[in-house]
């Protein structure tokens, strides 16, 4: 019987291919662990709460409600969106909330496992995967609510709604990739987490979340260049059955994310021992 051999030394040569293969291999191997961790966190969260699932969509719902009120009361005047405004606002805040939690997910999952990271050797990729599982769980609940909204406001069922999960996956992939790059630094310095929360607030206003892209002006340029725009717009178009006008841009962003996601995984793999050392020192 051949025994698996592990060698630990100060790495002098870095082979990206081998690292990526190991990373993806570990992720595949650790499906059960990841599922178990996600299940644990979800169960524990809902078992100790009465409102439970409500918390998953209370944030996007209230943000949308605020904007619906601002709009209907005439406090602010928004350009016509072509669909009932509550559906517009809620679909926007919902997909936005998915993106924000995806960005936070890798860091939060790793941070929460700090205690075992410094004590036990297990495939760390499981933490990322469990984060994705949790995101999928939360997001599917949000979709159910969105569908209710769509019918309630008379938009009706569109065949393109079946494609919405693809847009949702796009949001998760984009968010996780970005989050993965921030994770190593974020684990060392608390500042990173604060900056994300802070920055995302501003970023929301240059993304067509609660209002449409203006016809002209500097805001239009920023919004169009913003890589989150195609994700939000495409998701919404699929819900209401419009032809997704940013579909190409959306695909470019998504395809561009794949190599970056792999790079992020490699960096994550390299940085975990370095971070564990600083956390436990």
Partner 1 sequence: MLKSKRIVTDKEVLVKVEGLSKKFCKNLKTSLWYGVKDLVSGVTGSTQERKLRSKEFWAVKDINFELRRGQCLGLIGHNGAGKSTLLKILNGLINPDEGKVTIKGRVGALIELGAGFNPILSGRENIYNNGAILGFSRKEIDDKLETIIEFAELEEFIDMPVQHYSSGMKVRLGFAVAAQMEPDVLIIDEVLAVGDLGFILKCFKTIDAILPHTAVIFVSHNMPMISRICNHIILMEKGEAKFQGENVSKGIDYYYNKFLTDEKANVVFTDNSVSLNNASVLNVECIDSCYNIKWGSSIQLNLKIENYNLTRKPYISLAVYDKEQRAIAEIYPDNQSFDAIKKDTTIEYLVSLEHIYLSKGIYNITLNVSEDAAFNVHYKLHKAITLKVEHEKQMWTPFLLNSKLINSSSK
Instruction: Indicate whether 276 belongs to the interface with partner 1 (CB under 8 A).
Output: yes
Tell me how far, at minimum, the Cβ of 158 lies from partner 1, in Å: 39
Helix (H, G, I), strand (E, B) or coil at 243: coil
Residue 58 or 274: the one with the smaller Cβ distance to partner 1 is 274
Q: How far apart are CA 186 and CA 114, in angstroms?
A: 13
Binding mask 110-149 for partner 1 (x = CB under 8 A): -----xxxxxxxx---------------------------
Secondary structure letter of residue 212 according to DSSP: P
Residues 34-73 that bind partner 1 (CB under 8 A): 36-37, 40-41, 43-44, 47-48
| Binding test (CB under 8 A) with partner 1, winner from 78, 166, 185, 260 | 185
Residue-wise DSSP of 40-95: HHHHHHHHT-SSTTHHHHHHHHHHHHHHHHHHHTTSS-----SS-HHHHHHHHHHH
Q: How far apart are CA 242 and CA 202, in angstroms?
A: 27
Q: Are 252 and 170 in contact (CB under 8 A)?
A: no
Instruction: Indicate whether 10 belongs to the interface with partner 1 (CB under 8 A).
Output: yes
HSE of 214 in the Cβ direction (CA atoms, 13 Å)? 11
Secondary structure letter of residue 160 according to DSSP: G
Give the interface size with partner 1 as a residue count (CB under 8 A): 45
Instruction: Indicate whether 191 belongs to the interface with partner 1 (CB under 8 A).
Output: no
Tell me how far, at minimum, the Cβ of 192 lies from partner 1, in Å: 11
Instruction: Indicate whether 9 belongs to the interface with partner 1 (CB under 8 A).
Output: yes
Name the residues that contact partner 1, by CB under 8 A: 3-14, 32-33, 36-37, 40-41, 43-44, 47-48, 115-122, 184-185, 188-189, 267, 270-271, 273-278, 280-281
């Amino acid at each position: 019987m051949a025994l698996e051999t592990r060698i630990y030394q100060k790495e002098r040569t870095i082979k990206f291919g081998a690292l990526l293969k190991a990373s993806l291999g570990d992720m595949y191997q650790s499906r059960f662990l990841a599922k178990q961790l996600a299940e644990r966190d979800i169960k524990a969260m809902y078992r100790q709460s009465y409102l439970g699932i409500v918390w998953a969509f209370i944030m996007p719902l209230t943000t949308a409600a605020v904007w619906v009120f601002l709009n209907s009361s005439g406090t602010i005047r928004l350009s016509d969106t072509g669909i009932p405004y509550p559906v517009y606002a809620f679909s926007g805040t919902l997909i936005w909330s998915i993106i924000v939690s995806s960005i936070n997910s890798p860091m939060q999952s790793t941070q929460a496992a700090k205690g075992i990271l410094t004590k036990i050797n297990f495939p760390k990729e499981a933490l990322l995967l469990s984060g994705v599982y949790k995101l999928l769980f939360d997001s599917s609940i949000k979709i159910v609510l969105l569908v209710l909204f769509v019918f309630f406001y008379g938009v009706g069922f569109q065949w393109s709604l079946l494609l919405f999960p693809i847009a949702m996956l796009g949001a998760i992939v984009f968010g996780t990739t970005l989050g993965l790059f921030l994770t190593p630094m974020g684990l060392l310095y608390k500042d990173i987490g604060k900056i994300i929360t802070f920055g995302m607030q501003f970023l929301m206003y240059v993304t067509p979340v609660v209002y449409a892209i203006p016809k002209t002006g500097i805001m239009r340029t920023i919004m169009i260049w913003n890589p989150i725009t195609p994700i939000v717009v495409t998701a919404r178009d699929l819900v209401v059955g419009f032809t997704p006008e940013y579909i190409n841009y959306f695909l470019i962003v998504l395809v561009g994310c794949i190599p970056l996601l792999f790079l992020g995984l490699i960096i994550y793999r390299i940085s975990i021992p370095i971070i564990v050392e600083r956390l436990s020192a």
